[in-house]
Amino acid sequence: MNVNRKRVGIVGARGHAGAELIKLVAAHPALELAFVSSRELDGQRVDAQVAEYVGELRYSAPAHEALPQLGADVVVLALPNGKAAPCVEAFDRAGVDPLIVDLSADYRFDERWYYGLPELTRGRWRGQRRISNPGCYATAMQLSIAPLKDVLAAPPVCFGVSGYSGAGTTPSDKNDPDKLRDNLMPYALTGHLHEKEASRHLGVPVEFMPHVAPHFRGLTVTTNLYLAHKMTREEVMARFRGAYGDEPLVRVVDDAPWVSRIAHRHHVEIGGFPVSVDGKRVVIVATLDNLLKGAATQVMQNINRAIGVDETTAIPLERGVSDKG
């Protein structure tokens, strides 16, 4: 053990995002794994499941009450929605205060927790020890809408399509490859949790219609925006370049991005920008890997900032890629 490194514990590491996070921690110069919990994988070696990890650590299944005694400086909760509170309460009862990053939606509406979408909320971080990681769709929607939020004439309407890894590992119609084959499965067409999340944090009502497709990873959100006054495509793009030009994990591209090109990549691509003849409607297309920038990569951004290292430490960046405009 390197005593200078922060020790990371992952609760619920069996899931797809948990595995991606293990890979990022394994490559990090200032982090090491303290424990990874999974009831299904209890006792198995981590390197048997995640080849990028080198070490002898095994999955474990500690009770919630035991988590504070495991010596983690950083705890990531990668649990299904509704399961985080008992873990958080265990640390509170024990008087142990690690940095806690929650991947679920459980604290995204809690003012006591910092909402960690760095490109939009970086300036609001004040050293909070409790961080709520945004949802994958909610990340794409907010980044698509924020640069034009002040000129909207109507609620944004977002059409989303995600790979089935977004439905988690618990078997359901939404992650059954046989049922998804040659199919596009709509669900939660009003009131989706990410619709509420994006609306809350943008401060404008957002309408969202999600679908699941047969591919495994990566999502696309196509957002229709009605504008209060006429704008040209160049003016719209200038707003997005101004907002994200210095962001290493956001790419503003000329054409509408393809979801097949974002898999296994850590950034968001935002493009398209067709403007209607009257200049009062524009369509924005955003793609991201739901397991990376939509989950594990964003966790790592938040951890990096909290421990005082560069925000992109251990996050693979593709240098020198720019838009065509």
- List the domain boundaries for the chain: 6-134+293-307, 136-290
H-type alpha helices, 42-124: 46-49, 85-94, 118-121
Amino acid identity for residue 27 in this structure: A
What is the sign, positive or negative, of the torsion defined by CA atoms of 199, 238, 287, 53? negative
Hey, what CATH topology would domain 136-290 get?
A: Dihydrodipicolinate Reductase; domain 2 (3.30.360)
Q: What is the pLDDT along the chain (325 residues), one digit of tens a residue?
A: 455 899 999 999 888 899 999 999 999 999 999 999 999 999 999 999 999 999 999 999 999 999 999 999 999 999 999 999 999 999 999 999 999 999 999 999 999 999 999 999 999 999 999 999 999 999 999 999 999 999 999 999 999 999 998 766 667 788 888 888 999 999 999 999 999 999 999 999 999 999 999 999 999 999 999 999 999 999 999 999 999 999 999 999 999 999 999 999 999 999 999 999 999 999 999 999 999 999 999 999 999 999 999 999 999 997 544 443 3
What is the sign, positive or negative, of the torsion defined by CA atoms of 67, 298, 25, 216? positive
Reported as half-sphere exposure (CB side, CA atoms, 13 A), residue 318 has a value of: 12
Active site residues: 136
DSSP 177: H
Cβ-contact 233, 275 below 8 angstroms: yes
CA distance 314 to 186: 36
Q: What is the pLDDT of residue 169?
A: 63
115 bridge partner residues: 132
6 three-class SS: strand
Residue with tokens 């035991």: 66
Q: What is the pLDDT of residue 175?
A: 82
Q: What is the pLDDT of residue 320?
A: 40
Q: Has domain 6-134+293-307 been given CATH number 3.40.50.720?
A: yes
